[in-house]
Amino acid sequence: MSEIVVTAENFRTEVVESDIPVMLDFWAEWCGPCRMLSPLVSEIAEKYKGKVKVGKVNVDEQGGLAQAFGVESIPLVVVMKNGKVTASSVGYRPLEQLEALLEK
C-alpha cells in the first residue's frame, strides 16, 4: 500500500509541509462507495509515486480533520498543493476523473 494514513498528528508534516501535491481520500469502513473508490486511490498512489502523495483519512477516527475540511458526504477526495486545497470531489468517480483533479 503506497497510501499513507493521515491523522491529526501527522497532518502538518505529511500534507501541509509536503513538497509535492497531496491527494486525500476521506472515507469510512461502512461506506460502500468508499470501498469502491479505494482500489482507484491505490492505483493513483502507485502510478504517481514520487509525484503525488496519497493519504487516507478515516472520518470515524479523525473527526477533527473531517470537521476542518467540512466533510458532509463521503467519499471526499481533496487535492492540496502548498498546503491549500486546489480541487475536490464528492462521491465515487472513475479513475480518469480522479486523475483530472490532479491536473487542476
**Active-site residue (options: 6, 23, 34, 45):** 34
The question of whether 34 is a catalytic residue gets the answer yes
Q: What single string gives the DSSP state of each residue in 14-47?
A: IIIT-SS-EEEEEE-TT-HHHHHHHHHHHHHHHH
Active-site residue identified among 31, 54, 71, 80: 31
Set of cell numbers at residue 41: 486511490
Q: Which of 28, 41, 24 is nearest to 86 (CA)?
A: 24
Among this protein's residues, is 31 annotated catalytic?
A: yes
By annotation, the residues acting in catalysis are 31, 34
